[in-house]
Amino acid sequence: MKLAPIHYVRPRSEAELLDALARYGADAAVLSGGQSLMPELALRTRAVKVVVDINHLPDAGGIALGLAADDPLQTASLGVHAEASAPRPGGWLHIGPLVRHGDLLNHHLVQRHAPGWAAAAAHIGNVAVRNRGTVCGSLAYADPGGELPLIAVASGARVCLRASSGVREVAAESFFAGAFCTVRRPDEYIACVRVPVAGPDSFHFVDEIARRPTAPALASIALSVDPIIGQAPSVRIAVGGVSDRPRLLPATGERISHALRGMTARQRGEEGVGVALDVDAIRATLRAELTPLVERDDAAYRLHLAATLTRAVAKLRASLDLSPAMPHPGPLT
């Protein structure tokens, strides 16, 4: 089908973009990669009066390292209404609104500081989709099976929203409000995503099951582990595709974190620190957390996720170079 008649706006600056969004509000849609918006408009499953094409915004395609102190969001002349964000000794990786999925695959800063994002992008669609689709567009689209919403939640990323009235920043786990639904207001656009810089000994894992390699996931899991000296490692686990939005599994993360601390402490000969890698306890916690989240009446989703997590824990164990004498986590299903 052909598109319905649409008013097309091509802002040349962020000020023009914000003016257009303030003026047209819910009648307008931001066009970035167009990989989801254009089929929707062509099939007329979505109707908008105005398309605001941001592809000609200057300096919008960059990936850069920034410390919290030099974050442009914090120093913007617009009013800042950001939630308090924890200081990051390692800083943040800023991903601009025109960074494409494919940029994540090969960019040296992503490979070094946010390897989970490169791993997630590798699962997206085909080369054409990865060349056009944008990171921010994928977050705005909020497909429950989307890989980038998943890794955004697992990595503790923050979404920066700008409107002519001000700027705000939302943690990824609070940004997604349902299937294809976010807390973004119609007069806001996603100006960037900020990803916490991963530590040198961090571990990242993304896996999924999909109908086709080019389709969003039916069920997916992302695991992000950041060792913290003298403390139990930070373990964030997110699942996608099983619910209306990507979900964190904090209790399972906590359980694995304590187990890892116990394993590494025992290797150093310390006694009484942490707990053993109790596979039964991890499995029970995982099932208890997944059960209320899984919306489809299909136990295969739970089983797949549990099996995938088993592989993730085994890889994690190998990456930490734990003693082969340590008990293997074994199947979790």
Contacts with ligand FAD, residue ranges (CB under 6 A): 29-37, 97, 124-125, 129, 133-134, 136-138, 140-141, 143, 146-148, 189-190, 214-216
For residue 35, how many C-alpha atoms fall within 13 Å in the half-sphere facing its CB? 26
**Residue 166 Cβ, how far from ligand FAD at the closest point, in Å?**
16
**Residue 223 Cβ, how far from ligand FAD at the closest point, in Å?**
18
Strand segments, DSSP code E, in 157-243 are: 158-163, 166-171, 176-178, 181-182, 189-196, 203-209, 219-226, 234-240
Nearer to ligand FAD, 175 or 203 (CB): 175
Q: In degrees rounded to 5, what are phi and psi of residue 96?
A: -75, 170
**Residue 242 Cβ, how far from ligand FAD at the closest point, in Å?**
15
Nearer to ligand FAD, 3 or 215 (CB): 215
Which two structure tokens, joined as six digits, stand for 238? 């997110």
**Residue 217 Cβ, how far from ligand FAD at the closest point, in Å?**
7
Distance between start and end Cα atoms, the chain: 46
Amino acid of residue 200: P
Q: Which of 205, 259, 261, 207 is CA-nearest to residue 236?
A: 205
Work out whether strand 28-31 and strand 50-53 pair parallel, antiparallel, or are unpaired. Answer: parallel
CB neighbourhood size of 284 (10 A) = 14
Nearer to ligand FAD, 113 or 123 (CB): 123
Nearer to ligand FAD, 53 or 254 (CB): 53
**Residue 150 Cβ, how far from ligand FAD at the closest point, in Å?**
9
Nearer to ligand FAD, 120 or 286 (CB): 120
**Residue 202 Cβ, how far from ligand FAD at the closest point, in Å?**
23
C-alpha to C-alpha distance for 309 and 208, rounded to whole angstroms: 11
Amino acid of residue 175: F
Nearer to ligand FAD, 26 or 228 (CB): 26
